[in-house]
Every structure is written in structure tokens, then in C-alpha cells.
Amino acid sequence: MAAKEKPRGTDVLYGLIGQARQYGDAIILGRGDPDFDTPAHIVDAGMAALSDHQDEVSPVEGILPLRQAIAERVKKVNGIEVNPETEVVFTNGGQEALFLMVLTVIGEGDGLLVPEPNYNTYKDAVKFAGGRVVSMATYANEAFRVDPNRLKESLTPETRAILLVSPNNPAASVISKEDLVEIVKIAQEHNLYILSDDIYDLLIYDAFEHTSVASLSGAEERTLTLNALSKTYAMTGWRTGWVVGPEQLINKLKTFKANVSGPASIAAQYAALEALTGSQEAMQQMASAYHKRRDMVLSALDEMGFKYGLPQGGQFVFVDISHTGMSSVDLAEEILTREHVLAYPGGAFSEGMDDFIRITFLQTEEKLQQGLTRMKRAMDALSKEA
């Protein structure tokens, strides 16, 4: 098999996606866009806003009923208490929430400690803010645990904040409550902020439990927490996210929001309100489907002889490809070219993750099965040629 190559960063993802689009039968097992469509009752609420609330001028942080619904949600699901008047900002998706959180706490020369692997746009946001990423390694043989001791050793004098993504993207690992308690102590000791990405908090598997770090003693006053409706309610196109946190930080974030984009679409806000307060049946059915699909993917990977980090949460699995001797980019390109199936190379998420690919289970079971069958064919062919 081909010798390892240096990963080419996030640009490689766009190149692979572009290539996949040329194939009429491509199955993309990499992108984080649920195959489900937004439930009809949520669409209806968004459309009702076009006639009933068309003239409504939203404050930059979002309409109050929506912020109240968000406050109730984070209290119920995450154990975080916030004042909807002053401690909630609705954003253009989780992506904008992420961007604004970074701008709020990272300035010129400041460091953001980022456990690897990680969703690469955090690094882009830090670069825009003039800061720098302080990487912290996690390891597959430790289930990508964010080890508090290693975290502490990774701190530099410039570190200003710690990023915690749980479940992690792409590793799908969940940070335990015990580890979070220790991390909060470290943050207190070094006077650091915490940025918490909870976007997959409702998609947890097996006996794992999700803890929102902001719910822990000592964390509340220094933590900004983001979430969004994209993944759990299939609303990726609507751009519906939020950040909650202490008033002082939220005020600063709100100013950035005003200057970056202003308030979100009124239709998106009312659709989000319905998602949070209306029937949860569709969301629960989707979550149930993801559980089933996860098991399907894991069975297929077992059959192909792959090792993987057991997904503790999220919508993907991080697959160990080290036995192939190929770089993640090379392998992704081979599978795509041979069988028109796209899995995302781990090297695009982090330089040290070139021994992994990320496979999402955001396709129908039928398409997922097809994709995995074709992927197996590609792997069998590569093995024979080796």
C-alpha cells in the first residue's frame, strides 16, 4: 500500500467533497448533516412567522420567548440555570455560537487549549481572533479521554481558556463527570474560561452520561456553553443555535453578535421555539434511528476488521486505519475513487489523527448499508493489491 503522506488540512475535505459531487451515485459518510428533514410542525411554525411575525423586530439576542425556552431546556437537560433576559443569545447556528464564544474570550496572543482531535473550525476561529491554539493530545487507547493531568501539563502562560467538546467531534468520546470536576478546579486555579460545546448532548449511547461542565460548582461564572438544533432536530439549513453563560460574558458576546451579523431570521427563531416547546416525538424517533445505525456501522466495521473508538455519543465513529499503512487522506481518496463512498480523513481534524477516518451515520439504513458494502469492497481490493 502507498506510503504515508502528510495530511493537507481542512482544504482536503472540500477537495474530496468536490470530487464526490462528480459521482451521481456518491454516498457521503463524512458530512455532519442528518438525512432527516426538519419535522413538519417546525416548518409550519417557521412559515407562520412569515405572516404573523413578519414585522417583528428581534433584539440581537433573539426574541424573549425563545430565550425563555432555551433557558428551560438547558436547565432541564444540562442542569444549567440562566436568566433568559440576560444570559442567553440565539445565534445563526452552532457555528456562529462557536465563532462568537471564541471572540468573546480569546484576544490577540491568547491561547485556547484544545484537546485533539477536534472540529477544525475552532482553530480557524482562534486564528481570526488573533489567538493561538494550545493542543493537548488524547489517545485512542484511552478512549480519547481528556486527562486532567495532561490538560494541566499542556497549559502555557498564554492560555486563556479551555475548550471542551463532549461528545467530541470526531472522536465521539464523552468527558466523564469526574474528569470535568478536576478540569474545573484547574480552570479556577489558573483563572481560565471554559468554552463548552454540548451540541451532541442528547445523543449519548450505552451507559455513558453527559455532564454539562457549566452545571458544576465553580464553573458557572467562567463557562460559555453552546448548543444548536441542527443535529437533533434536523435543522441544519435553518441556522439555529445558542450560547448561554454568565451575564458579563454574554454581554460581551452580544456586542460581537450585533457587530458580526445582528439578530437571526425571525422565521428561524419561531421554528426554533416550536422545536424546543412542541412535540418531541420526531426528535426522539431520529435519536432512536441513530442508535440503530450506530450498531449497523459498528457491525460492518467489525466485519472489515477495523478497530474503532467506541462511539459514546454523537453521530459518527472514529475508525482506526493504522493497519492499512495508508494516510487517512490516501485511504479516503481510494475509497472515494473506487467505490464513490466518502469518509472524512482524520488528518483533516488534527495532524496527529492521520491514522483515523470519520464515518457518520447520517444516511438511511439502506444507503448506509450500501455505503458500507461498497467500502468493504474497496478495502478488500486494496488488501489484495498490497
Residues that bind other proteins (CB under 8 A): 31, 33, 37-38, 40, 43-44, 46-47, 50-51, 53-60, 92-93, 95-96, 99, 103, 121, 124-125, 128-130, 234-239, 251, 254-256, 258-268, 271
Residue number with CB closer to other proteins (127 or 323): 127
Tell me how far, at minimum, the Cβ of 260 lies from other proteins, in Å: 5
Tell me how far, at minimum, the Cβ of 44 lies from other proteins, in Å: 8
Tell me how far, at minimum, the Cβ of 221 lies from other proteins, in Å: 20
Distance (Å, whole) CA 53 – CA 49: 5
Distances in Å between the Cα of 199 and the Cα atoms of 10, 55, 167, 241, 378 are: 21, 31, 8, 9, 33
Measured in whole angstroms, the distance separating CA 94 from the mean position of its chain's CA atoms is 8
Tell me how far, at minimum, the Cβ of 331 lies from other proteins, in Å: 25
Q: Are β-strands 241-244 and 307-309 bridged in parallel, bridged antiparallel, or unpaired?
A: unpaired
Tell me how far, at minimum, the Cβ of 228 lies from other proteins, in Å: 11
Tell me how far, at minimum, the Cβ of 232 lies from other proteins, in Å: 14
Residue 133 neighbours by CB under 8 Å, 6+ apart: 111, 112, 114, 122, 123, 126
Residue 321 neighbours by CB under 8 Å, 6+ apart: 306, 328, 331, 346, 355, 356, 357
Residue number with CB closer to other proteins (3 or 57): 57
Distance (Å, whole) CA 36 – CA 33: 9
Q: Is the peptide bond before 170 cis (omega within 30 degrees of 0)?
A: yes
Residue number with CB closer to other proteins (96 or 354): 96
Residue number with CB closer to other proteins (239 or 340): 239
Residue number with CB closer to other proteins (94 or 167): 94
Residue number with CB closer to other proteins (98 or 335): 98
